[in-house]
Protein backbone atom coordinates (compact mmCIF):
# COMPACT_ATOMS: atom_id res chain seq x y z
CA UNK A 1 0.00 0.00 0.00
CA UNK A 2 2.86 2.36 0.79
CA UNK A 3 4.26 1.93 -2.74
CA UNK A 4 0.87 2.68 -4.27
CA UNK A 5 0.51 5.79 -2.13
CA UNK A 6 3.92 7.08 -3.17
CA UNK A 7 3.24 6.29 -6.83
CA UNK A 8 0.11 8.41 -6.69
CA UNK A 9 2.35 11.40 -5.86
CA UNK A 10 4.98 10.72 -8.55
CA UNK A 11 4.71 13.03 -11.54
CA UNK A 12 5.31 11.23 -14.85
CA UNK A 13 6.70 13.83 -17.22
CA UNK A 14 5.41 14.44 -20.74
CA UNK A 15 7.67 14.69 -23.79
CA UNK A 16 7.33 18.49 -23.67
CA UNK A 17 8.33 18.61 -20.01
CA UNK A 18 11.28 16.31 -20.59
CA UNK A 19 12.50 18.54 -23.41
CA UNK A 20 12.47 21.57 -21.09
CA UNK A 21 14.25 19.57 -18.39
CA UNK A 22 16.79 18.45 -20.98
CA UNK A 23 17.59 22.13 -21.62
CA UNK A 24 17.76 22.84 -17.89
CA UNK A 25 20.11 19.90 -17.44
CA UNK A 26 22.28 21.04 -20.32
CA UNK A 27 22.64 24.44 -18.67
CA UNK A 28 23.73 22.76 -15.44
CA UNK A 29 26.36 20.82 -17.40
CA UNK A 30 27.54 23.99 -19.17
CA UNK A 31 27.87 25.75 -15.81
CA UNK A 32 30.21 23.00 -14.62
CA UNK A 33 32.31 23.49 -17.74
CA UNK A 34 32.55 27.20 -16.99
CA UNK A 35 33.59 26.59 -13.38
CA UNK A 36 36.02 23.71 -13.88
CA UNK A 37 39.07 25.75 -14.97
CA UNK A 38 38.63 27.94 -11.89
CA UNK A 39 38.61 25.08 -9.36
CA UNK A 40 42.22 25.52 -8.26
CA UNK A 41 44.31 26.52 -5.29
CA UNK A 42 43.93 30.19 -4.33
CA UNK A 43 40.33 30.57 -5.54
CA UNK A 44 37.62 31.27 -2.98
CA UNK A 45 34.27 29.53 -2.79
CA UNK A 46 32.66 32.95 -3.30
CA UNK A 47 34.57 33.32 -6.58
CA UNK A 48 33.07 30.08 -7.88
CA UNK A 49 29.62 31.07 -6.67
CA UNK A 50 29.77 34.43 -8.45
CA UNK A 51 30.86 32.83 -11.73
CA UNK A 52 28.05 30.29 -11.54
CA UNK A 53 25.37 32.86 -10.80
CA UNK A 54 26.48 35.17 -13.60
CA UNK A 55 26.48 32.35 -16.15
CA UNK A 56 23.12 30.91 -15.09
CA UNK A 57 21.38 34.29 -15.21
CA UNK A 58 23.08 35.22 -18.51
CA UNK A 59 21.45 32.11 -19.99
CA UNK A 60 17.93 33.01 -18.92
CA UNK A 61 17.66 30.80 -15.84
CA UNK A 62 17.51 31.34 -12.08
CA UNK A 63 19.81 29.73 -9.50
CA UNK A 64 17.72 27.02 -7.84
CA UNK A 65 19.41 27.06 -4.44
CA UNK A 66 19.78 30.79 -3.82
CA UNK A 67 17.11 31.69 -1.26
CA UNK A 68 15.87 28.08 -1.04
CA UNK A 69 14.61 26.77 2.27
CA UNK A 70 12.91 28.25 5.31
CA UNK A 71 12.25 31.99 5.36
CA UNK A 72 14.23 32.41 8.57
CA UNK A 73 17.32 30.71 7.09
CA UNK A 74 17.35 30.58 3.27
CA UNK A 75 20.38 29.13 1.53
CA UNK A 76 22.73 32.05 0.76
CA UNK A 77 24.51 30.80 -2.37
CA UNK A 78 24.03 29.79 -5.98
CA UNK A 79 26.12 26.62 -5.58
CA UNK A 80 26.64 24.25 -2.70
CA UNK A 81 30.40 24.11 -2.13
CA UNK A 82 31.33 21.16 0.09
CA UNK A 83 35.04 20.96 0.92
CA UNK A 84 36.80 17.91 2.38
CA UNK A 85 34.76 16.70 5.40
CA UNK A 86 31.65 18.60 4.26
CA UNK A 87 29.20 16.04 2.86
CA UNK A 88 26.65 18.41 1.34
CA UNK A 89 25.06 21.87 1.46
CA UNK A 90 28.35 23.68 2.06
CA UNK A 91 27.94 27.45 1.97
CA UNK A 92 30.10 29.25 -0.63
CA UNK A 93 31.91 31.69 1.64
CA UNK A 94 35.36 33.27 1.62
CA UNK A 95 37.23 30.01 2.19
CA UNK A 96 40.27 29.68 -0.09
CA UNK A 97 40.87 26.36 -1.83
CA UNK A 98 44.28 24.82 -1.28
CA UNK A 99 46.31 22.03 -2.86
CA UNK A 100 45.05 18.63 -1.74
CA UNK A 101 41.44 19.72 -1.09
CA UNK A 102 38.41 18.09 -2.65
CA UNK A 103 35.26 20.09 -3.29
CA UNK A 104 31.79 18.88 -4.14
CA UNK A 105 30.08 21.50 -6.32
CA UNK A 106 26.30 21.09 -6.48
CA UNK A 107 24.47 23.18 -9.09
CA UNK A 108 20.75 23.64 -9.61
CA UNK A 109 18.89 25.84 -12.09
CA UNK A 110 15.28 26.79 -12.74
CA UNK A 111 14.63 27.24 -16.46
CA UNK A 112 11.19 27.87 -17.97
CA UNK A 113 9.50 26.49 -14.87
CA UNK A 114 11.53 23.27 -14.50
CA UNK A 115 14.59 22.31 -12.50
CA UNK A 116 17.94 20.73 -13.35
CA UNK A 117 20.30 19.44 -10.63
CA UNK A 118 23.74 17.80 -10.55
CA UNK A 119 26.91 17.56 -8.47
CA UNK A 120 30.57 16.86 -9.20
CA UNK A 121 33.47 16.42 -6.81
CA UNK A 122 36.71 18.02 -7.96
CA UNK A 123 40.24 17.44 -6.72
CA UNK A 124 42.36 20.54 -6.18
CA UNK A 125 45.78 19.56 -7.49
CA UNK A 126 47.22 16.31 -6.18
CA UNK A 127 45.35 14.61 -3.36
CA UNK A 128 46.26 11.71 -1.08
CA UNK A 129 45.83 8.31 -2.76
CA UNK A 130 43.10 7.26 -0.32
CA UNK A 131 41.16 10.46 -1.08
CA UNK A 132 41.53 9.92 -4.82
CA UNK A 133 40.19 6.42 -4.28
CA UNK A 134 37.17 7.84 -2.50
CA UNK A 135 36.43 10.26 -5.34
CA UNK A 136 36.85 7.57 -7.99
CA UNK A 137 34.64 5.11 -6.10
CA UNK A 138 31.87 7.67 -5.62
CA UNK A 139 31.84 8.45 -9.34
CA UNK A 140 31.78 4.72 -10.12
CA UNK A 141 28.94 4.21 -7.63
CA UNK A 142 26.80 6.78 -9.45
CA UNK A 143 27.40 5.05 -12.78
CA UNK A 144 26.70 1.63 -11.27
CA UNK A 145 23.36 2.99 -10.10
CA UNK A 146 22.57 4.56 -13.47
CA UNK A 147 23.21 1.21 -15.14
CA UNK A 148 20.20 -0.35 -13.37
CA UNK A 149 17.71 2.42 -14.24
CA UNK A 150 15.11 1.04 -16.65
CA UNK A 151 11.37 0.35 -16.65
CA UNK A 152 10.51 -2.45 -14.23
CA UNK A 153 13.58 -1.94 -12.04
CA UNK A 154 12.98 -0.76 -8.49
CA UNK A 155 14.40 2.05 -6.42
CA UNK A 156 15.95 -0.54 -4.11
CA UNK A 157 18.06 -1.76 -7.04
CA UNK A 158 19.57 1.73 -7.30
CA UNK A 159 20.53 1.86 -3.64
CA UNK A 160 21.80 -1.70 -3.68
CA UNK A 161 24.18 -0.97 -6.58
CA UNK A 162 25.70 1.99 -4.72
CA UNK A 163 25.91 0.31 -1.34
CA UNK A 164 27.43 -2.89 -2.69
CA UNK A 165 30.20 -1.10 -4.54
CA UNK A 166 31.05 1.49 -1.88
CA UNK A 167 30.83 -0.70 1.22
CA UNK A 168 32.63 -3.47 -0.63
CA UNK A 169 35.63 -1.13 -0.78
CA UNK A 170 35.35 -0.13 2.87
CA UNK A 171 33.66 3.26 2.53
CA UNK A 172 30.69 4.64 4.47
CA UNK A 173 27.43 5.34 2.63
CA UNK A 174 25.47 8.34 3.94
CA UNK A 175 21.87 7.38 4.84
CA UNK A 176 20.24 10.66 5.87
CA UNK A 177 20.49 12.53 2.55
CA UNK A 178 18.99 11.12 -0.62
CA UNK A 179 18.19 11.57 -4.27
CA UNK A 180 14.73 12.83 -5.17
CA UNK A 181 12.16 13.34 -7.84
CA UNK A 182 12.45 16.64 -9.68
CA UNK A 183 10.36 18.68 -12.10
CA UNK A 184 8.34 21.82 -11.40
CA UNK A 185 9.58 21.44 -7.83
CA UNK A 186 13.19 20.92 -6.86
CA UNK A 187 12.24 18.07 -4.54
CA UNK A 188 9.41 15.68 -5.43
CA UNK A 189 8.61 12.00 -5.02
CA UNK A 190 10.16 9.49 -5.26
CA UNK A 191 12.92 9.42 -2.64
CA UNK A 192 16.02 7.65 -3.97
CA UNK A 193 18.03 6.02 -1.18
CA UNK A 194 21.68 5.23 -1.81
CA UNK A 195 21.46 1.96 0.04
CA UNK A 196 18.92 -0.82 -0.02
CA UNK A 197 17.92 -4.30 -1.16
CA UNK A 198 17.36 -5.47 -4.72
CA UNK A 199 13.79 -6.02 -5.93
CA UNK A 200 12.34 -3.69 -3.28
CA UNK A 201 10.70 -0.30 -3.36
CA UNK A 202 8.83 1.61 -6.03
CA UNK A 203 8.86 0.20 -9.57
CA UNK A 204 10.36 2.54 -12.18
CA UNK A 205 8.16 3.71 -15.06
CA UNK A 206 8.85 5.73 -18.22
CA UNK A 207 8.49 9.44 -17.53
CA UNK A 208 9.86 9.33 -13.98
CA UNK A 209 12.56 11.96 -13.48
CA UNK A 210 14.78 11.93 -10.41
CA UNK A 211 18.29 12.52 -9.13
CA UNK A 212 20.78 9.92 -8.00
CA UNK A 213 23.44 11.53 -5.81
CA UNK A 214 25.50 9.16 -3.65
CA UNK A 215 27.42 10.72 -0.78
CA UNK A 216 30.28 8.44 0.22
CA UNK A 217 32.58 8.92 3.21
CA UNK A 218 36.18 7.84 3.62
CA UNK A 219 35.36 6.79 7.18
CA UNK A 220 32.11 6.19 9.04
CA UNK A 221 28.74 6.99 7.41
CA UNK A 222 27.70 9.22 10.34
CA UNK A 223 26.72 12.85 9.69
CA UNK A 224 26.52 16.05 11.73
CA UNK A 225 24.62 19.26 10.91
CA UNK A 226 26.50 22.45 11.79
CA UNK A 227 24.84 25.36 13.64
CA UNK A 228 24.36 27.32 10.37
CA UNK A 229 21.50 24.93 9.66
CA UNK A 230 22.86 23.88 6.26
CA UNK A 231 26.39 22.49 6.33
CA UNK A 232 26.56 18.72 6.88
CA UNK A 233 29.90 17.17 7.84
CA UNK A 234 31.14 13.65 8.45
CA UNK A 235 30.92 12.35 12.00
CA UNK A 236 34.66 11.64 12.12
CA UNK A 237 35.73 14.64 9.97
CA UNK A 238 37.12 12.36 7.28
CA UNK A 239 36.60 13.48 3.67
CA UNK A 240 33.36 12.87 1.77
CA UNK A 241 32.61 12.88 -1.98
CA UNK A 242 29.42 13.25 -4.00
CA UNK A 243 28.39 12.86 -7.64
CA UNK A 244 24.89 13.48 -8.98
CA UNK A 245 22.91 13.39 -12.21
CA UNK A 246 19.28 14.04 -13.09
CA UNK A 247 17.89 11.07 -15.02
CA UNK A 248 14.64 10.24 -16.82
CA UNK A 249 13.34 6.69 -17.22
CA UNK A 250 12.68 6.00 -20.90
CA UNK A 251 10.74 3.12 -22.51
CA UNK A 252 14.01 1.28 -23.23
CA UNK A 253 16.20 2.42 -20.35
CA UNK A 254 17.16 5.92 -19.21
CA UNK A 255 18.57 9.24 -20.35
CA UNK A 256 20.90 11.41 -18.28
CA UNK A 257 19.60 14.97 -18.52
CA UNK A 258 22.61 16.69 -16.94
CA UNK A 259 25.40 15.47 -19.24
Which parts are annotated binding residues for substrate? 89, 187
Binding site residues, as ranges? 89, 106, 117, 180, 187, 213, 244
Burial state string for 197-216 with b = 16 or more CB within 10 A and e = fewer than 16: eeeebbebebbbbbbbbbbb
Q: Decide: 78 and 92 in contact? Cβ < 8 Å.
A: yes
Binding residues for a divalent metal cation: 106, 117, 180, 213, 244
Alpha-carbon dihedral 183, 197, 161, 238, rounded to 10 degrees: 90
Amino acid sequence: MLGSDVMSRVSLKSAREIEIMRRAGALVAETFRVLEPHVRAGVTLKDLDRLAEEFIRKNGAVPAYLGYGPKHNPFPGTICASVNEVICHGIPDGRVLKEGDIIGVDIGVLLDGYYGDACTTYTVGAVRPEVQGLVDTTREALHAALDVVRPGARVGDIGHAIQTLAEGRGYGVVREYTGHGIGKRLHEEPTIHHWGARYTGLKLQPGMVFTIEPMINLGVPDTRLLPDGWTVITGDKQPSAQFEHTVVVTPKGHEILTL
